[in-house]
Chain A
Amino acid sequence: MTKNAIGSIFFLAFSCFYFFNVFNIKKMPGSQFEVMTASTFPFYLGLGGIIISLTILILSFIKKDSDFLTLEYLKKLDFKTTIYFVIAMLFYGFTIRTLGFIIATIIFLTIGFLLLKEKNIKRILLISSGVSIGFYLLLNNVLGVYIDPGMIYEYFVGVDS
């Protein structure tokens, strides 16, 4: 399948989903007398999205588009590491509130370096802890940005008042 066709199918699905949800937007009493309601603009956008994505899809077949998403190209891509990175990012989002900024950041960076096959453990630990502690001190002490220390810290040490 061509790149254009694959992209257009994604947008067609998204535009249809968006368009049908336009009808779920609530209407205010008396909105029938208004020239433009909360759903007017989204209605035309949804419609426009469906028309354009359909046009791209049809044209990709009519014009005999040759820009294919080939299996050779896909085989070259490192999906495994990328998926692990996505999981690591989601995990970071979860741990930043529970474990706190410093511990969560050290874990995230260490996982990141290891995923990209950095072998020097000393370097990994030095950079991950240095960046997280340094950044925490910079934010809290220099820029005056308070970062929540995390639920674990609050549980054991208590909340500062």
Chain B
Amino acid sequence: MMDGILTGVVTAFTTYNIMMVAVGCFAGTFIGMLPGLGPISAIALMIPITYGMEPSSGLILIAGVYYGAIFGGSTSSILINAPGVAGTVASSFDGYPMAKGGQAGKALAIAAYASFTGGTIAAVFLLFAAPALANVSLSFQSSDYFALMVLGLTAVAAFAGKGKFLKAAIMTIFGLMLATVGTDSDSGIARFTFGRLDLIDGISFLLLAMAAFALSEAMMNILENHKQTKEEMDALKKDIGSLKITKEEVKEMAPTVGRSSVLGFFVGVLPGAGATIASFLAYGMERSIASAKEKLKFGKGSVKGLAAPESANNAACSGSFVPLLTLGIPGSGTTAIILGALISYGIQPGPTMYVDNPELFWSVIISMYIGNLVLLVLNLPLIPYIAKLLTIKKELLLPLIIFFSLIGVYLVTFNNFDIYMMTLFAVVALFLRIVDYPMAPMILGFILGGMMEDNLRRALTISDGSFAFLWERPITLTILIITIIMLLMPLISELFAKMKKSKEEVQQ
């Protein structure tokens, strides 16, 4: 393990890679700050740039973008109450009231320190958890992987939110269906190509990610015709005030940051959960354990109320790398995009990555420390200036985002059919956004589709066509039982809610 860590340190600390972390953090901060554009869009926009790089540098840049986007999302949450990322919605509950009260600088500083601590604590956890899980997963067989993928996809649907389980499930299947377009990897038979040569290689993941996220988000902005209000513009032009935090405030929020970081990391590890759930859970936990006097401050500018979601969402980002790096199973839309990028670099994440590409595995983990440091040391003092970029008119920004999305995909294949296909997918994604169907499960299904089919084929071949492989191995069976529990969870929770309601009615 020490050899691996040293290799990672050497790789991560090259001038080029440190520069990549810094560039990633800056780009991510800016894109994440733009309301409507989240980390998935930020990463998708940066992927074409990373194609010419070494895989480790590319992944380091992407990880920097991820952190930066979360940090940027907090900035717009705090300054104008417009979260760029779902994971930073909880930060606006207390961050925005602080900014309104003339303490925007302090709120941003608290967010930065809490994010830094959360990210660093989680990176330490990752350092130990990832190799341990990778060692365990070395004994996994194709049936276990198939079960794990089913679990991952089910979990994403289960955590999609109240009443959204079936919607997320159909989106996952939609993604899996799109993944089957092209040549079958085993038999070489073309599927759903309708005689078009452009579809023989299947649909590119970058094309789908760009269309479903960056492009459709920009088009949604055009469709909804949101203009920045005068109040928002004034808030951005206003001086943000001092960035200093008092000793008392540090003492007050230290235990909160510690608790929320640990909680955030473990929520992040769970497939399907992630920064959003982690931040809301941490906020809820802090509120429930606060004294009656402190509880009154929540929602009105509480230091704890801001520090909790901020440390939890950053810790969850690191946590979400655990299943990705060790099992090759992404737990969220963002890590699914990162998995897609890794596959296009020619690297298959999973337990073997830890053995075959130790420099990549460790350098990403080490770069997370650097990324957190960059956000604190470089981005925080520059925030007043970066925030000014938010005053750029949408009339100028949106066509540029659309252009970069289109050209990013075109530059990979130089095939203008990709632009037509991307436009079609963006229109479909726009329609699905209007009717409120989530996009992340689709991209997760699309990326896992090929691997899932391969593992199912291998498992069936080993068991001579029998589905007995699902219950013959204890690991497969355990994973499938967890999957069934997750599948039934929405039903069980609904049943409990009904029982509680009827009890209350009887009592009344």
Residues of A within 8 A of B (CB): 3-4, 6-8, 10-11, 14-15, 18, 21, 25-26, 28, 31, 35-39, 41-42, 45-46, 48-49, 52-53, 55-56, 59, 67, 69, 76-79, 81-82, 85-86, 89-90, 92-94, 96-97, 105, 108-109, 112-113, 115-118, 123, 127, 131, 135, 139, 143-145, 147-148
A161 to chain B, nearest CB (A): 19
Closest 9 CB pairs of A and B: A112-B399, A93-B419, A35-B465, A38-B184, A116-B395, A7-B435, A3-B435, A118-B395, A38-B189
B416 CB–A CB distance under 8 Å: yes
Pick from B192, B225, B410, B426: contact of A96, CB below 8 A: B410
Residues of A within 8 A of B427 (CB): 86
Pick from A36, A78, A96: contact of B457, CB below 8 A: A36
In the complex where A37-B187, A56-B167 touch, is A93 in contact with B173 (Cβ < 8 A)?
Answer: no
B166 CB–A CB distance under 8 Å: yes
B496 CB–A CB distance under 8 Å: no
B261 to chain A, nearest CB (A): 36
Q: Mark B378-415, 1 if CB is under 8 A from A, else 0.
A: 00000000000000011110111011001100110010
A112 to B404, CA, bound (A): 13
A53 to B456, CA, bound (A): 24
CB of A89 within 8 A of CB of B406, answer yes
A143 to B407, CA, bound (A): 15
B170 CB–A CB distance under 8 Å: yes
Q: Is the interface of A mostly helix, strand, loop or mixed?
A: helix
A116 to B464, CA, bound (A): 60
B343 CB–A CB distance under 8 Å: no
CB of A112 within 8 A of CB of B180, answer no
CB of A28 within 8 A of CB of B189, answer yes
Residues of B within 8 A of A6 (CB): 435
CB of A93 within 8 A of CB of B416, answer yes
Pick from A3, A90, A143: contact of B436, CB below 8 A: A3
Q: Mark B184-196, 1 if CB is under 8 A from A, else 0.
A: 1011011110000
CB-CB contacts below 8 Å: B428-457 with A = 430-432, 434-437, 452-453, 456-457
Residues of B within 8 A of A18 (CB): 177, 192
In the complex where A78-B222, A85-B222, A112-B403 touch, is A7 in contact with B432 (Cβ < 8 A)?
Answer: yes
A37 to B465, CA, bound (A): 11
CB of B224 within 8 A of CB of A76, answer yes
CB of A52 within 8 A of CB of B166, answer yes
Residues of B within 8 A of A (CB): 52, 166-167, 169-170, 173-174, 176-177, 180, 184, 186-187, 189-192, 219, 222-225, 393-396, 398-400, 402-403, 406-407, 410-411, 414, 416-417, 419-420, 422-423, 426-427, 430-432, 434-437, 452-453, 456-457, 460-461, 464-465
CB<8 Å pairs between A and B, sample of 14? A31-B187, A49-B177, A52-B170, A56-B167, A56-B170, A81-B222, A85-B219, A96-B410, A109-B400, A112-B398, A113-B396, A116-B222, A131-B400, A147-B414
Can you add 13 more A-B contacts, CB < 8 Å, to A21-B192, A76-B224, A79-B223? A3-B436, A15-B177, A31-B187, A39-B191, A41-B456, A76-B225, A77-B223, A85-B222, A86-B219, A89-B402, A92-B419, A96-B419, A112-B399
Residues of A within 8 A of B224 (CB): 76-78
B225 to chain A, nearest CB (A): 4
In the complex where A49-B174, A76-B224, A116-B399 touch, is A26 in contact with B189 (Cβ < 8 A)?
Answer: yes
A14 to chain B, nearest CB (A): 7
Closest residue of chain A to B410 (Cβ to Cβ) is A96
A47 to chain B, nearest CB (A): 10
A38 to chain B, nearest CB (A): 4
A15 to B430, CA, bound (A): 19
CB of A131 within 8 A of CB of B416, answer no
A148 to B396, CA, bound (A): 27
A146 to chain B, nearest CB (A): 9
Residues of A within 8 A of B176 (CB): 45
CB of A89 within 8 A of CB of B435, answer no
CB of A56 within 8 A of CB of B52, answer no
Residues of B within 8 A of A115 (CB): 399
Pick from A28, A42, A118, A139: contact of B177, CB below 8 A: A42
Residues of A within 8 A of B456 (CB): 36, 41
Residues of B within 8 A of A81 (CB): 222-223, 225
A137 to chain B, nearest CB (A): 14
Residues of A within 8 A of B416 (CB): 93-94, 96-97
Closest residue of chain A to B418 (Cβ to Cβ) is A93
A147 to B426, CA, bound (A): 24
A3 to chain B, nearest CB (A): 4
CB of B410 within 8 A of CB of A53, answer no
In the complex where A41-B456, A49-B174, A112-B402 touch, is A78 in contact with B225 (Cβ < 8 A)?
Answer: yes
A25 to B223, CA, bound (A): 39
CB of B436 within 8 A of CB of A67, answer yes
Pick from B186, B189, B222, B422: contact of A25, CB below 8 A: B189
Residues of B within 8 A of A79 (CB): 223
Pick from A36, A45, A123, A145: contact of B180, CB below 8 A: A45
A56 to B173, CA, bound (A): 14
Residues of A within 8 A of B166 (CB): 52, 55-56, 59
A26 to B183, CA, bound (A): 11
A99 to B437, CA, bound (A): 38
A132 to chain B, nearest CB (A): 9
Give the residue among A3, A21, A41, A76 with the most B Cβ atoms within 10 A: A41
